[in-house]
Amino acid sequence: MKPTSLIDSASGWPEPILGSDKLSHEIFSFLESRFLFGPGETLTLDCGGGGGGRGRGRVRILSIDGGGGGGELAAAALARLEARLRELSGNPSARIVDFFDLAAGSGAGAVLAAALFTRGGLSAADAAAALALVRSDDDHRHADAELDLREEIARGGGRALDRVFGERRCGTRPNLAVPCYDAATGAPYVFSRADAVEGDAYDFFVRDVCAAAYGSAAAAVSVDGATRVLPAASATAMASPAAAAVTHVLHNKQEFPFVAGVGDLLVVSIGNGGGGSGGGAAASEAAEELLRIAGATQADMALGFAFGESRSASYVRIQGDGVTAGRTAEAMLAERSVESVLFRGRRMTETTNGERLDWAAGQLAKEEERRRRSKTPTVLIKPAAAAVTPRTSSSASSEITVSTVSGASSASL
């Protein structure tokens, strides 16, 4: 059955009632500020022209959802984005990591983000290969590799993650933020480099962080054993990492001192396929995957609303339409993109997912060129704080490295 109640044409909505919409905007601006920033905070969602208009540039965030078939759509989207960035920059060896300041991911998206940002800045193709390697140990047992990998990791396995990431730590690599739900505290927990450089009590092995993003039954233990995070048995609570990444940047004034609001951000959020899973999946697994996709959609709606008037210029969401199952990732990129709107469900836009990626690549390339010409830094890379906790990591430094040119942040680490 065609879900006409969920997806309408771009022109299918009635004319809004301005008074009602204004009241709704005022109410939910207040609610969204609590959703993104927590109670008691006074941060303002500046929906003005963004940092580019003030000459300070924009902080670039890449967010990759988990679920939806094991990351095929994300891998294809990243490949297209990287190819376009290479074309626009004139650099045939340019990588995704050169054009983003922070990557966030959950599930398979966490593996892709970690591969892109922690393994020396892999190309999109190599990151997809790393994800395939993580999944390869179980492909012969299940048709749905994503669900099967989650089962293995939930049992405390994850040998493939060891093979891919080895002994790499969060604190020795470029900015990475991976949210999970900590069952011990009953609250979300975000693994990040910004925290990791404060001391070994907040630094974790990347392999354990990726396992936590899948909801591993085993606790993630910091490198010094002082901190333990017990991921929830299901990772549905953190299906979409984009909100966590935005919150991380808005609160991290040491590394992102010029970000006053969402208008100073450029977020590229890659969703899941949105279609049904394989017919062989158990009912409980299918229900969990449905909750994961629904959670990501709700987070996308809320985050898009929080961006307000800056949404079209600052927030790019790539998402399957959720109608036709069994499509290839390339076919989903050729589909018209889907936009989630709070309380109005989802609607088709006039552009395809691939065209939205091309537009995002253009914005990323412009920001990179602006940084090359600017003497004012946009991002300050926080060094490892040796004074806080003695460290043996080679990433320890006594200086703040300014990221103003392509790849500066990764080169300094």
C-alpha to C-alpha distance for 329 and 257, rounded to whole angstroms: 37
Does residue 196 sit in helix, strand or coil?
Answer: helix
Quick one: tokens of 93? 């060896």
Nearest Cα residue to 365 out of 127, 96, 123:
96
**Bridge partners, 351 (sequence order):** none
Which one of 11, 29, 63, 106 is the catalytic residue?
106
C-alpha to C-alpha distance for 119 and 167, rounded to whole angstroms: 11
In angstroms and rounded to an integer, the radius of gyration of the C-alpha atoms of the chain is 20
Query: Ramachandran region of residue 345, left (φ > 0), alpha (ψ -120 to 50) or beta?
Result: left
C-alpha to C-alpha distance for 304 and 295, rounded to whole angstroms: 14
Task: Give the position of tokens 């199952």.
Answer: 325
Does residue 116 sit in helix, strand or coil?
Answer: helix
C-alpha to C-alpha distance for 333 and 188, rounded to whole angstroms: 31
**Around Cβ 126, how many Cβ atoms within 10 Å?**
15
CB 200 within 8 A of CB 388: no
Q: Name residues whose C-beta falls within 8 Å of residue 362's C-beta, 6 or more positions apart in sequence.
A: 84, 88
- Residue 33 a catalytic site member: no
Nearest Cα residue to 74 out of 113, 102, 100, 101:
113
CB 149 within 8 A of CB 70: yes
Strand (E) or helix (H) holding 81: helix 72-89
C-alpha to C-alpha distance for 31 and 16, rounded to whole angstroms: 21
* Strands 220-221 and 187-192, bridge-based pairing: unpaired
End-to-end Cα, the chain, rounded Å:
52
Residue type, 152: E
Residue type, 412: S
The 8-class DSSP code of residue 170 comes to G
Active site residues: 106
